[in-house]
Chains A and B, each alone.
Chain A
């Protein structure tokens, strides 16, 4: 097993010989990958928010003021019997007024001048699981509009569509920025590997002449690249976590966005592991680029 020990020791020697360069490469890679991570974190959280909003979608079916109590009960029965509907809650005109006053206490005087309660009664409809997609909700709303006694159907789809647009935009930006910054990480690590290759060029030459295969010569540099990439991405995760906690603390203390701090979340373990794995991959890619440029592996 001395050969295995030799490969690990050679990789470790590379990292130690160019200590300053190693540290600089890890820190620079960490900040580069942290930038990618910011986009990824925003993307993951916005996707979660969109999914949460989609699941929480409510359709408001406003009733015609002229509808009788009998017709209202009949409509409620029809809605409850619909397989695309999971729940129906009736809001009377009085309840609607009460909720308005509770939500907008300073504006409640606006309604007093009108004499009669202008707010319509409504049904708050929750779509059943499997019928929460924008298309399904839109189709159902169209159908509900034609029902007798229905004055208007409203739902927060525009908001969801806007969020989906924002997510697509962030996704594309993340891919673009991710590719550019990943190339930067590959270059940074590649340059560090080049220094190690230069420092050990004599040993590489000797290894070649005594019958070492290309793989044997290259493995320590692949290991070095993988270690640099893994350390850089792990440090990037640390930076992101720190920044994330500071952000959450800020929005929590600001008061204005109460509740949001519980909605946002850091990467799950699986994404953290994948992030480090990608960092390792970029490190190895840096090694490959440098080994090619260095011309190692001739005969």
Chain B
């Protein structure tokens, strides 16, 4: 599903990723661990075509993302749901309108939008808040709306960049359960986090990045000094 082959990336001589090679299978749930500045966000940005590697190649669903034309990038992003740490919700639009955005840009039909948005909102448990502004919701609810928007068009991959950064332990546990649920439906999930508690909650494959270098794999539940 996702393959990185000897990928390196630097910003002004600062190495963000160095010779990273990894493979994530279809339907996997992978934790990408590492402290701030380890290169997790850079890696996720590369997967959605936001950044290009200086060296190496990246494949998503067999497509070489590193060689994608600019005009093809939007179509790649439609297959990948992204959950942002800062949610990136539009306060002037309702929860429904925020979640509908990915479907609107794909020119989905009105009936499809209504059905899929309500399904996504129900899946994350905020369907009763559909007419409210995201600004009136709690942090946890905003994060759920963000996830609903990421899954609304049935992506093959869900990427989450520090999704628990703004949540308390209880909300973090709920969120991880939600990701497991989404994964159980067949979506490949990659969660980037620096929070070791998340690792304890997820008994899945863990990939750790330290200063841009991928270190040998562990499984969730193992102790990590990240």
Q: What is the interface of chain A, defined by CB distance below 8 A to chain B? A: 1-3, 6, 202-203, 205-214, 216, 297-299
Please state if B88 and A209 are interface contacts (CB–CB under 8 Å): yes
Which residues in A have their C-beta under 8 angstroms from that of B73?
299
**13 A-B pairs (CB sep. < 8 Å):** A1-B110, A2-B100, A202-B88, A205-B88, A206-B101, A207-B101, A209-B82, A210-B82, A210-B102, A211-B106, A297-B70, A298-B70, A299-B73
Which residues in B have their C-beta under 8 angstroms from that of A209?
48, 50, 77, 82, 88
B13 within 8 A of A: no
Nearest residue (CB) in B for A207 is B105
Please state if A3 and B104 are interface contacts (CB–CB under 8 Å): yes
Please state if A211 and B77 are interface contacts (CB–CB under 8 Å): yes
Interface centre among A1, A203, A210 (most CB of B within 10 A): A210
State A291–B22 Cα separation when bound (angstroms). 38
B90 within 8 A of A: yes
Which residues in B have their C-beta under 8 angstroms from that of A212?
74, 105
Please state if B101 and A214 are interface contacts (CB–CB under 8 Å): no
Q: What is the interface of chain B, defined by CB distance below 8 A to chain A? A: 48-50, 70-71, 73-78, 82, 88, 90, 100-102, 104-108, 110, 113, 149
Which residues in B have their C-beta under 8 angstroms from that of A213?
71, 74, 105
Nearest 7 Cβ contacts at the A-B interface: A211-B78, A211-B77, A212-B105, A210-B102, A3-B107, A211-B74, A213-B74
Which residues in B have their C-beta under 8 angstroms from that of A207?
101, 105
Which residues in A have their C-beta under 8 angstroms from that of B71?
213-214
Which residues in B have their C-beta under 8 angstroms from that of A211?
74-78, 102, 105-106
State A213–B70 Cα separation when bound (angstroms). 10
Interface centre among A203, A206, A298 (most CB of B within 10 A): A206
Which residues in B have their C-beta under 8 angstroms from that of A208?
74
Please state if B110 and A206 are interface contacts (CB–CB under 8 Å): no
Please state if B102 and A299 are interface contacts (CB–CB under 8 Å): no
